[in-house]
């Protein structure tokens, strides 16, 4: 993926989450209001995987601002503890 100046500006403007695995903007972001849960559901897609996050109405109402973070952080290799 080659980013032009316009694309970099758009990323900053719209705050697209970055994939922790490939360190690029995610391929697709979906958001929808979930009436049964009472909050906003976000789904991000990248390299064939999907990750989902929920923000309930209380968090949205009480927060000054909400921003995307990194997606797929749990897919990164985790440090292992050694048994001695």
Whether 44 contacts 29, CB under 8 Å: yes
Which of these, 35, 18, 34, 30, lies nearest to 69 by C-alpha position? 18
Could you report the per-residue pLDDT of 17-51, keeping only the tens digit for each? 889 898 888 999 998 998 888 889 999 999 899 99
Q: pTM here?
A: 0.69
pLDDT band at 10 (very low <50, low <70, confident <90, very high): very low
> How far from chain centre, in Å, is Cα 12?
14
């Amino acid at each position: 993926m080659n980013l032009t100046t316009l694309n970099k500006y758009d990323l900053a403007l719209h705050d697209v989450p970055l994939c922790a695995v490939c360190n690029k903007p995610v391929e697709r972001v979906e958001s929808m209001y979930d009436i049964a849960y009472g909050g906003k559901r976000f789904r991000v897609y990248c390299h064939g995987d999907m990750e989902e996050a929920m923000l309930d109405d209380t968090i949205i109402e009480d927060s000054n601002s909400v921003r995307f973070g990194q997606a797929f952080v749990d897919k990164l290799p985790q440090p292992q503890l050694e048994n001695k």
